[in-house]
Amino acid sequence: MNALRRALLAAAVASVAGGAGRAQEIEIIALRYRRAEELLPLLRPFVAPGGALTGQGHQLFLRTSPANAREIRQLLETLDRAPRELLI
């Protein structure tokens, strides 16, 4: 992993972990088909107050309650799907 990527990853994790001492754990969610940049604007409104969501590439970094994390993962099942091919 190059130095820039490590620095970006560390910054992303630090921003999610901003509430040090809270009972919430950071969960790293691997995306299959969509990039984090596509999904973040769609998912952020669903993150519970006090939680945080960020991401880079094909990974999301989520800090929230276990119940809210389950809701976010359910949303991802719908949103992180292979794009359809359109043949004309």
Task: Reduce the DSSP state of residue 54 to 3 states and report it.
Answer: strand
pTM check: above 0.85: no
Which pLDDT band, with edges at 50, 70 and 90, does 10 fall under?
A: low
pLDDT at 80: 96
42 touches 72 (CB < 8 A): no
Which pLDDT band, with edges at 50, 70 and 90, does 84 fall under?
A: confident
Element (H, E) at 26: strand 26-30
pLDDT at 21: 45
CA distances from 60 to 35, 56, 63, 85 (A): 9, 7, 10, 25
